[in-house]
Amino acid sequence: METLTEGQVVHGHVKNVTEYGAFVDLGGIDGLLHLTDLSWGRVKHPSDVVKPEQELDVIILKFDKEKQRVSLGLKQLMADPWVNAAERYRPAEKSTGRSSESSTTAFSSSWSKVSRDSYTFRK
């Protein structure tokens, strides 16, 4: 525990999976791997990504020595897909994909409806 620092990559094993994340044993102290730090994509339940007794490498996001709390991240060890999104998806460029939402309200400020199944991005 004395050697733990923020930004450090450590090896541990999953002790318990809950609705909000997973507890990872780092060898003397447990850290919380929160649901939002499991993956860059949407995760319905932490058990979709990690299982009890699974060994994995995680990064220490926050470490409070006094409260003995460790916040861990898994997605932070992977490339952020949004970093180069502007290079991959140019304005006015056609692209195909699926929407995970049935409502178009989220698109209203940046997207214009072209046809029943087509939208165009406007800057």
Q: Where are the beta strands (DSSP E) in 45-122?
A: 55-64, 69-73, 111-115, 118-121
Structure tokens at 83: 């970093």
pLDDT at 96: 78
Exposure string of 83-102, with b = 16+ CB inside 10 Å and e = fewer, is: eeeeeeeeeeeeeeeeeeee
Per-residue pLDDT reduced to its tens digit, 15-26: 999 999 999 999
Domains and CATH numbers, the chain: 9-77 (2.40.50.140)
Which of the pair, 28 or 104, is modelled with greater confidence? 28
How many other C-beta atoms lie within 10 A of the C-beta of residue 59? 18
pLDDT at 87: 81
- Our CA dihedral for 90, 93, 97, 99, rounded to 10 degrees, sits at 70
- Evaluate if pTM is beyond 0.75: no
